A and B are shown apart, each in its own frame.
Chain A
């Protein structure tokens, strides 16, 4: 269990954030300036809170009331910074060994670092640097891994290179991870728990599928970024047309490209703006993905209405204009058809499942 509560005044900004979450990948999600980095700096011990308590798996790292403040170097908290922060005067091998040699061979293998060991950080690409930084943190045998937007400095290609490594880390290392991000696609792929932050406080905590598909959370997440996460199984591959058929709990959808082997499970993020709603089953439509669903909630905001849907056992999220919501008379309990634009699912949004 990870329990964090931190109070700190930083100039005009007030950080007063707390949450509890089971181990796994906990995504701290929110717009820039919402206090995510300050919060994990407090967990690392790089920022001293005025009050609060930080506990990781039974170990108390900070307790304002009990005057406990474990110094940074004794917290055993691995930190992967946005800018990697490799030591420029040491080789990759020496960087990796700086904090210890815990599980050395497995970490090098897990992150594919064996060909980089003799190089200097200056000779590495951005993606390679981040991989080394992750390996260095892991080899120090941390009880918790902090990652502060480890992918934000990278282009789409490098992101696609690192994301699978992070998924392996989540699935194989069994280490709790606090992951700061403002990209919903990363959160949807990696997180088990989502903590939504806004203006220095925690606005929402919950399982990833629950929070990201909650119409009421759309305002905090941002209309562009909102979208549900569903689990899917690869049920068919069409080699001629280059399509993959996925079985969801509420029906089947077809996506372009070959997304994996037959029978494998994966996570899929379906962006709210790519879901269209209809009262009657549409005919003669180029979109192949039409799913029956039930409206569970409608949340009207200044930018439109967010509609929560239950499709089989999966929750989906759609965004429509307020006028459409009225025209379709959308209200909880209403049966509708959800049309998912097949081309809309970006490769970034498909990840290996837990």
Chain B
């Protein structure tokens, strides 16, 4: 079973899973806050936030990658700020995770926002009259009722992160073992004479992972929806 994929291919699969899982885990709290603010908040600059969240969906990925490269290089405005703390994104797997998180962010926020909007404000008002603070209302009423959408957003973001190519290769290049995820590995194998076999095997893995993520998301959402409704 293990010799079905070569060591380099395995490395790419493992790295992709690590990068995508980190990207989703790290952006989940911010995603929840953005989704909640867009769904329930009434504040100046709401449209601006909406635009910012959706920007990576519309910009060419190479532009996003290049902006990240400018901002987070050792001499860049954010990179130089973070360097004294020993945090560096440039040309490392954490950079790949950052690029994936930003590219996947709109896909994560959208289902979450729709789910928060669908929660009946009347139930939240009822919880408040029963003595629940805003935080408790969120934790015990809003979040549990929106959970199917939150899970769907997280899985969609994971699937998108697994497939991220343009921003990743522009920002952190294509370094085997560090930033060579499945898509960049496929690209590299295709550039190599005799690499088609390895590329095709990774394509198969890619398709399987994407299908698996979608099915898992469907199954989870339905399970949660049943628990919430019945």
A: residues with CB less than 8 A from B are: 44-46, 71-79, 81, 83, 85, 87-89, 98-100, 120, 122-123, 136-137, 140
State in angstroms the CA–CA spacing of A88 and B120 once bound together: 11
Taking the closest CB of chain B, its distance from the CB of A283, in whole angstroms, is 59
Contact A73 B126 (CB under 8 A): no
Q: A81-B122, A83-B122, A122-B229 given as contacts; is B130 within 8 A of A44 (CB)? A: no
Closest partner residue, chain A, to B134 (CB atom):
A73
Contact A89 B145 (CB under 8 A): yes
State in angstroms the CA–CA spacing of A227 and B210 once bound together: 70
Contact A88 B129 (CB under 8 A): no
Contact B129 A72 (CB under 8 A): yes
B133 at the interface (CB under 8 A from A): yes
Contact A87 B133 (CB under 8 A): no
B42 at the interface (CB under 8 A from A): no
B58 at the interface (CB under 8 A from A): no
Contact A44 B227 (CB under 8 A): no
State in angstroms the CA–CA spacing of A75 and B127 once bound together: 13
Chain A interface helix/strand/loop/mixed: loop
Cβ contacts under 8 Å, A89 to chain B:
144-145, 227-229
State in angstroms the CA–CA spacing of A87 and B122 once bound together: 10
Q: A46-B125, A72-B125, A81-B122 given as contacts; is B130 within 8 A of A88 (CB)? A: no
Closest partner residue, chain A, to B127 (CB atom):
A98
State in angstroms the CA–CA spacing of A44 and B131 once bound together: 11
Closest A-B pairs by Cβ, 7 of them = A99-B130, A85-B126, A72-B128, A79-B129, A89-B228, A140-B130, A73-B128
Closest partner residue, chain A, to B122 (CB atom):
A85
Cβ contacts under 8 Å, B126 to chain A:
79, 81, 85, 87
Interface centre among B125, B140, B229 (most CB of A within 10 A): B125
Cβ contacts under 8 Å, B125 to chain A:
46, 72, 85
Contact A98 B130 (CB under 8 A): yes
Cβ contacts under 8 Å, B132 to chain A:
73, 98-99
Size class of the contact patch on chain B: 20 to 34
Cβ contacts under 8 Å, B127 to chain A:
87, 98
Q: A73-B133, A120-B230 given as contacts; is B128 within 8 A of A87 (CB)? A: no
Cβ contacts under 8 Å, B120 to chain A:
85
Cβ contacts under 8 Å, A72 to chain B:
125, 128-129
State in angstroms the CA–CA spacing of A99 and B137 once bound together: 11
B: residues with CB less than 8 A from A are: 120, 122-123, 125-134, 140-141, 144-145, 227-230
Contact A87 B123 (CB under 8 A): yes
Cβ contacts under 8 Å, A77 to chain B:
129
Closest partner residue, chain B, to A77 (CB atom):
B129
Cβ contacts under 8 Å, A98 to chain B:
127, 130, 132, 140
Q: A79-B126, A81-B126, A83-B122 given as contacts; is B131 within 8 A of A140 (CB)? A: yes
Cβ contacts under 8 Å, B145 to chain A:
88-89
Cβ contacts under 8 Å, B130 to chain A:
73, 78, 98-100, 136-137, 140
Taking the closest CB of chain A, its distance from the CB of B126, in whole angstroms, is 4
Cβ contacts under 8 Å, A74 to chain B:
131
Cβ contacts under 8 Å, A137 to chain B:
129-130
7 contacts between A and B (CB under 8 A): A72-B125, A79-B129, A85-B120, A88-B228, A89-B144, A89-B227, A98-B130
State in angstroms the CA–CA spacing of A87 and B141 once bound together: 7
Closest partner residue, chain A, to B133 (CB atom):
A73
Cβ contacts under 8 Å, A73 to chain B:
128-134
Interface centre among A44, A73, A76, A136 (most CB of B within 10 A): A73
Cβ contacts under 8 Å, B229 to chain A:
88-89, 122
Cβ contacts under 8 Å, A136 to chain B:
130
Closest partner residue, chain A, to B147 (CB atom):
A89
Taking the closest CB of chain B, its distance from the CB of A135, in whole angstroms, is 12
Interface centre among B128, B132, B133 (most CB of A within 10 A): B128
Cβ contacts under 8 Å, A140 to chain B:
129-131
Cβ contacts under 8 Å, A75 to chain B:
129
Cβ contacts under 8 Å, A46 to chain B:
125, 128-129
State in angstroms the CA–CA spacing of A62 and B133 once bound together: 18
Contact A76 B131 (CB under 8 A): yes
Interface centre among B120, B128, B130, B141 (most CB of A within 10 A): B130
Closest partner residue, chain A, to B132 (CB atom):
A73
Interface centre among B120, B125, B126 (most CB of A within 10 A): B126
Interface centre among B128, B131, B140, B228 (most CB of A within 10 A): B131
State in angstroms the CA–CA spacing of A120 and B227 once bound together: 10
State in angstroms the CA–CA spacing of A271 and B60 once bound together: 75
State in angstroms the CA–CA spacing of A83 and B125 once bound together: 13
Taking the closest CB of chain A, its distance from the CB of B9, in whole angstroms, is 44
State in angstroms the CA–CA spacing of A85 and B127 once bound together: 9
Cβ contacts under 8 Å, A45 to chain B:
128-129
State in angstroms the CA–CA spacing of A44 and B126 once bound together: 10
Taking the closest CB of chain A, its distance from the CB of B221, in whole angstroms, is 14
